[in-house]
Structure 1
Amino acid sequence: MRRGATGLVATGIAVLAVSEWLNRRWSRMLVGNSRGPSTAVVVCGYRNPQARANLINRWRVRAGIRSVESDRAQDSRLIFSGGATSGSAATEAQLMAEYAQSELGFNGTVLLEDRSTTTWENIANVIPLLEEADRIKIVSQPAHALKARAYLLRQRPDLAEKLVRADDHRPGEWLFVKPVFAAYGLWALRGLGVDVRKLVP
């Protein structure tokens, strides 16, 4: 019994460690060290049929705000991207902005992109809001953010050169859910295409 229990504990610790490592690695892929006085932080929405931001979107908003604050740029804008899902009257972008401003007290510049229903559209539709930025951060769970950065690389390689790391991975955060995020990431990133995957270290 003891040996079996010890084996289960060891397996659990190994799964958590690998998941932590994968999420950390994904958060650092396809980013550089672009510099400049202006930063655009894009927060991608997650399907949200409720009348207020759900758990995932609330976390993404917090990660977006701390990504703005960690930069200390002279000119920062927080861009919420996501349309209406599941027949909801409010868009993901609107719900996230309301949470940021009304509940978290964020008083910086907020822009909304409220038409997107896919990650590809998230990126395509925010491009006009990124043109003047010196630095670009994309916020989501690490694997999803990497997928979004890869899409920006496909759609606008010149803007992808401005990508820098967002504050969307912290050791121990979502610790016991990270195996789920890691499993999703391994599945989702398979669909990026050979050309993009070759560019990912």
Structure 2
Amino acid sequence: MKRKALLALGLFSLTAWGEFVHWRASRALAHQHLPARTEAVVVLGYRNTRGDRANALNRWRVRAALRSIDPTMDGSTLVCSGGSGAASVSEAALLADYAVAECGFTGQVRLEDRSRSTWQNVENVIPLLEDVDQIKIVSNPLHGQKARLYLRQLRPDLAERLVRAADYRPGEGWPLKPLFALYGLRDLARSKRSMSGTGSVQVVVGGGSWSGTQLHPPPTPHKTADQRETTEGGLPPLGVGRVCGWPLLVNPPPPPPTTRPTKP
């Protein structure tokens, strides 16, 4: 009897710990509310082996993204991010297809389908976030915290617009939360160590900044709808195409590196 009681207590403690870790991560590096009229809800894809339908984890992320949309906003955009891994169709396209075809979402959807890592997810969606008042990043709470940390590193000005998403609900998926918490905390600690090793020195370069191995362009102000096709800071324009009926962000190739002249 005592052994059963200890086992039950241990299971309860582990479950409560998993819930607490996810609850805390969902609130990290994000405001509770902002005075906003427009928003972008970014859902991050997980590797999908099938090319015809989003897997269970991606479907859950889409549902969490849809419930994160604020109906009082003047405009909300669902941004689906994720490249094609093992499947022939990108994670972004599968996320968008599930949101529209199976969940009945009728709002604006934009795709980013070149990313192969969380860092690339964040880096590649930045052009889609410039003109909104608030930003929500949706994934597993610890993965979402990691993405917000990356945005703070890449674009601190955009990170100030981060608002909590609805990717945490008490008791939702509780058997898996301790496992996700263990993996997520380890991954988050690894990411912080990596960033502290490369991003500790910051030098201003032509209005932008150089931090570690990443060049950050200078912060850009909000643009009107008529200005969204133009570029700022000397950067080449971003093309927007369509794949399977979905708008698709097409990033230009990076500019060639500049070299300093050597002294004779």
Q: TM class, shorter-chain normalised?
A: over 0.9
Equivalent residue, structure 2, for 1:135: 134
Amino acid at match of 1:119: T
**Structure 1 residue 109, shift from structure 2 partner:** 0.5
Equivalent residue, structure 2, for 1:168: 167
> Identity of counterpart residues, as a percentage?
48
Equivalent residue, structure 1, for 2:61: 60
Equivalent residue, structure 1, for 2:78: 78
Moved beyond 3 Å, runs of 4+: 194-197
Equivalent residue, structure 2, for 1:193: 192
**TM-score, normalised on structure 1?**
0.93
**Structure 1 residue 67, shift from structure 2 partner:** 0.6
**Structure 1 residue 71, shift from structure 2 partner:** 5.0
Q: Distance in 1 between matches of 2:14 and 2:180?
A: 12
Q: What SS is found at the alignment partner of 1:112?
A: strand
**Structure 1 residue 195, shift from structure 2 partner:** 9.6
Going by fraction, where is strand more abundant, 1 or 2? Answer: 2
Q: Distance in 2 between matches of 1:97 and 1:178?
A: 26
Say if 1:72 and 1:44 are closer, same or farther in 2 by CA, change over 3 A.
Answer: same
**Structure 1 residue 34, shift from structure 2 partner:** 2.6
Query: What is the aligned residue count?
Result: 194
5+ residue gaps in structure 1?
Answer: none
Amino acid at match of 2:59: R
Q: What SS is found at the alignment partner of 1:193?
A: helix
**Aligned partners of 1:39 and 1:76 also within 8 Å:** yes
Equivalent residue, structure 2, for 1:156: 155
Q: What SS is found at the alignment partner of 1:133?
A: coil
**Aligned partners of 1:150 and 1:196 also within 8 Å:** no
Q: Deviations over 1:127-150 (max 9, x none)?
A: 000000100000000000000000
Q: Deviations over 1:58-115 (max 9, x none)?
A: 00000010111x45211100000000012x2100000010001001110000000000
Equivalent residue, structure 1, for 2:259: none
Q: Deviations over 1:142-179 (max 9, x none)?
A: 00000000000000000000000000001111111111
Say if 1:26 and 1:71 are closer, same or farther in 2 by CA, change over 3 A.
Answer: farther
5+ residue gaps in structure 2?
Answer: 197-264
Q: What SS is found at the alignment partner of 1:73?
A: coil
**TM-score, normalised on structure 2?**
0.71
**Structure 1 residue 196, shift from structure 2 partner:** 7.2
**Structure 1 residue 193, shift from structure 2 partner:** 2.3
Q: Distance in 2 between matches of 1:172 and 1:181?
A: 14
**Structure 1 residue 192, shift from structure 2 partner:** 2.7
**Aligned partners of 1:40 and 1:133 also within 8 Å:** yes
Equivalent residue, structure 2, for 1:46: 46
Q: What SS is found at the alignment partner of 2:148?
A: helix
Q: Distance in 2 between matches of 1:82 and 1:186?
A: 22
Going by fraction, where is helix more abundant, 1 or 2? Answer: 1
Q: Distance in 2 between matches of 1:16 and 1:78?
A: 32
**Aligned partners of 1:34 and 1:161 also within 8 Å:** no
Say if 1:137 and 1:128 are closer, same or farther in 2 by CA, change over 3 A.
Answer: same
Say if 1:5 and 1:174 are closer, same or farther in 2 by CA, change over 3 A.
Answer: same
Amino acid at match of 1:66: R
